[in-house]
């Protein structure tokens, strides 16, 4: 005779915590059908004799068992895009992303990589007419010696001043903790934009003051104005006080704005691109100052005019402060004299 043995001791509880914080306890009963002869005297139970009320009572009793709660995930827009990248960096590259030298390496490598193509264009000159026609000051072509001088100045400044400053900071400042969550795309964009706007304001004021005060200009800022026609390598040709001031703002502004490390690294690379693009000496039609509407970015035309007329166009990236202050001046492109 075939009987059905109901094994109630084998079940699995699945604990689900919903987004609303509510808890749902689902009890799955696994009924194992076994064909066996029931020994004489054993209690025989037929499935149809088990009432619904008995099953309900047993499930309620099982649901009273206490189970540990699981953390509730917070789903936000953009997590699916950036969280896997951030998890990968934390899992496989934590020593690198937690290193205080990473921002310095990012900044200098970005300066080098972004400057190199334009340096090649400058050396080729008229042999690449498709690019040379966009040269703002075609009569003033940088030489290889000028490029080496500017690059070595930036390189030595980083070796003897920037890196020691980082080491001193490691000795006296606590290492910042890396968050477990990645920023959303919205946070990445807004934090980066806020950092750029704050730096643009700080440097505009600093730049204006150093041009208005002859002593400050001569001892601090004149190093950057050695060439009236800027080129890519001259982006980081700075005096030590100016370099340390710019570095201080670049490191402290994201801390004040509570930016995520990913936002800090993105704004570091992007700001270096903007700086190099300002100094290349080419008014390229696909440059950001032409792509961003309403003339919000000054770009190479504005900064090239600043090197030609140092009392104009003080802002490093955007154009609103020069417009408000009346120091904005449009580009007057020169033609090659024959």
pLDDT score for 78: 47
Helices (H), the chain: 52-63, 79-92, 94-97, 102-124, 129-132, 144-157, 163-172, 185-212, 214-216, 240-256, 261-279, 288-291, 299-308, 320-325
pLDDT score for 18: 35
pLDDT score for 74: 54
Burial of 136 from C-beta contacts in 10 A (0-12 / 13-18 / 19+): buried
pLDDT score for 289: 96
d(CA 213, CA 240): 18
pLDDT score for 73: 47
pLDDT score for 311: 94
pLDDT score for 174: 85
pLDDT in tens, the chain (338 residues): 443 343 333 333 333 333 334 433 333 333 333 344 444 454 444 444 445 555 455 544 544 444 444 444 455 554 569 999 999 999 999 999 999 999 999 999 999 999 999 999 999 999 999 999 999 999 999 999 999 999 999 999 999 999 999 999 999 888 888 999 999 999 999 999 999 999 999 999 999 999 999 999 999 999 999 999 999 999 999 999 999 999 999 999 999 999 999 999 999 999 999 999 999 999 999 999 999 999 999 999 999 999 999 999 999 999 999 999 999 998 876 655 54
d(CA 308, CA 36): 100
């Amino acid at each position: 005779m075939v009987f059905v043995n109901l094994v109630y001791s084998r079940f699995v509880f699945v604990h689900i915590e919903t987004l609303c914080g509510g808890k749902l306890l689902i009890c799955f009963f696994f009924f194992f059908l076994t064909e066996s002869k029931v020994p004489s005297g054993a209690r025989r139970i037929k499935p149809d004799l088990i009432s619904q009320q008995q099953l309900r009572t047993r499930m309620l009793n099982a649901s009273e068992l206490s189970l540990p709660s699981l953390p509730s995930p917070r789903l936000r827009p953009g997590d699916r895009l950036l969280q896997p990248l951030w998890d990968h960096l934390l899992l496989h590259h934590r020593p690198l992303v937690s290193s205080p030298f990473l921002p310095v390496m990012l900044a200098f490598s970005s300066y080098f990589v972004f400057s190199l193509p334009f340096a090649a264009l400058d050396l080729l000159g008229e042999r690449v007419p498709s690019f040379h026609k966009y040269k703002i000051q075609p009569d003033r072509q940088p030489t290889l010696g000028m490029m080496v001088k500017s690059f070595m100045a930036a390189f030595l400044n980083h070796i003897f001043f920037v890196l020691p400053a980082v080491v001193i900071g490691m000795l006296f400042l606590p290492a910042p903790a890396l968050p477990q969550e990645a920023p959303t795309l919205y946070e990445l964009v807004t934090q980066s934009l806020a950092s750029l706007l704050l730096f643009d304001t700080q440097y505009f004021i600093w730049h204006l003051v150093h041009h208005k005060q002859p002593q400050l200009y001569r001892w601090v800022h004149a190093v950057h104005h050695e060439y009236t026609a800027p080129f890519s390598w001259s982006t980081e040709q700075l005096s030590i006080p100016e370099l340390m001031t710019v570095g201080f703002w670049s490191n402290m502004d994201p801390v004040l704005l509570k930016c995520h490390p990913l936002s800090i690294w993105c704004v570091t690379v992007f700001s270096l691109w903007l700086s190099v693009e300002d100094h290349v000496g080419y008014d390229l039609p696909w440059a950001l100052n032409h792509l961003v509407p309403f003339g919000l970015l000054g770009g190479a035309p504005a900064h090239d005019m600043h090197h030609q007329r140092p009392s104009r166009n003080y802002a490093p990236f955007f154009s609103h402060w020069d417009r408000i202050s009346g120091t904005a001046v449009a580009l007057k492109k020169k033609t090659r004299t024959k």
